[in-house]
Structure 1
Amino acid sequence: MTLDAAPLDPTDRRIVQATQAGLPLVPEPYAKIAATLGLSEAQVIARLAAMQQRGVIRRIAVAPNHYALGMTANGMSVWDVADDRISDLGARIGALPFVTHCYWRPRALPQWSYNLFAMLHGESRAEVEAKRAEVSAILGDACRDHDILYSTRILKKTGLRLRDD
């Protein structure tokens, strides 16, 4: 990814404004956005891809309400993983079907030794603990310590927001 510091052109700005509250829940969301902006679906998709490549947009993803889906036990598991193995192991953990977020973060020593974060979801804490055991087995001896921080409420999730300048 290369980060282009150039401001958004007017068309990209309009696309971001049209999508910042989420994609329309229709079979062809990019076509619907294109129609409202007077663009083709291919133009919208190409411009979104270009903004992603420049680092303006990190990703386009679903942000589900896990509680509404019955996943009421949600825990951010944190792991102290050997630095030389974190890339490979992080990719394996991120590919698990019950992990929605998995990412590397620098440690904040001496208070915080964890460098791998993985959000685990389940219908109960016992289910999440079983999933945490699966993660632990994959990490094996590359993991020195771990913990889990359970969610107590839903936090507001928002994507890119433009200011009205």
Structure 2
Amino acid sequence: MSLRLDDIDRRLVLATQDGLPLVPRPYHELATQLGIAPAEVMERLLRMLARGVIRRIGAVPNHYAIGYTANGMSVWDVPDEAIDELGVRVGALDFVTHCYHRPRRLPQWPYNLFAMVHGGSRAEVLDKVAAIARLLGPLCRAHDVLFSTEILKKTGLRIGG
């Protein structure tokens, strides 16, 4: 599978690498900038998603700016055979922003389920983590919370102009 970009795909990536335009119709704005139809903008983005050129299109909020100053990655040791079902249940919680399966690194790291939790305080995050523990019940063998200590710059795909 080729990851080569034609000229329009390349210009589309350049136009979006700092985010979509913050306007009511961002794909129409991009279409105007690129001189193509809005439907083609959407088709090209979907095609790049399908090819793995880009991984996702989504909002990347600054949690600190919206009042969530405590951010904790909760990590869980759950049975491998139950991880898909448990991941779906944990990921559906309204206070979990992302949830995924990661490989264990035994013996030091037994955790295989990760769930990001945000709150206004560490105590709030810990309360939310306790709710996850209740949801997992006896299938949770161990867990921990890794709190953020700084804001990392989040960026998407970058290519030279």
TM-score (norm 2): 0.96
2-structure distance, mates of 1:8, 1:89:
38
2:62 corresponds to 1:65: yes
* Contact kept? 2:3, 2:51, Cα under 8 Å: no
What is the SS of the residue equivalent to 1:7?
coil
Q: Percent identity?
A: 63
Q: C-alpha displacement at 1:94, in angstroms?
A: 1.1
Find the counterpart in structure 2 of residue 74 from structure 1: 71
Give runs of aligned pairs for residues 129-148 of structure 1, distance below 5 A: 129-148=126-145
Q: Which amino acid aligns with 1:82?
A: P
TM-score (norm 1): 0.93
State how far apart, in whole Å, the 1-side matches of 2:27 and 2:74 are: 35
* Equivalent in the alignment of 2:13: 16
Query: Per-residue CA shift, 1:140-162, capped at 9, x if unaligned?
Result: 22221100011111111111111
Query: Could you tell me how far 1:6 is from its partner in structure 2?
Result: 3.5
**Count of aligned pairs:** 161
CA displacement at 1:11 relative to structure 2: 1.5
Aligned residue in 2 for 1:125: 122
Match of 1:110 in 2: 107
User: 1 CA distance for matches of 2:3 and 2:11?
Assistant: 16
Query: Which one of 81, 85, 102 corresponds to residue 84 of structure 1?
Result: 81
- Determine the structure 1 residue equivalent to 2:153: 156
Structure 2 CA distance, aligned partners of 1:57 and 1:92?
27
1:163 CA displacement? 3.5
CA contact (8 A) 2:95 2:118 kept: yes
Question: Hey, what's the Cα distance between the residues in 1 that align with 2:62 and 2:98?
Answer: 14
Task: Give 4+ residue runs of structure 1 displaced > 2 Å after superposition.
Answer: none
CA contact (8 A) 2:83 2:113 kept: yes
Tell me the CA shift for residue 99 of structure 1.
Answer: 1.0
**What is the RMSD of the two structures over their aligned residues, measured on CA atoms?**
1.1
Q: Secondary structure at the match of 1:75?
A: strand
Letter in 2 for 1:115: N
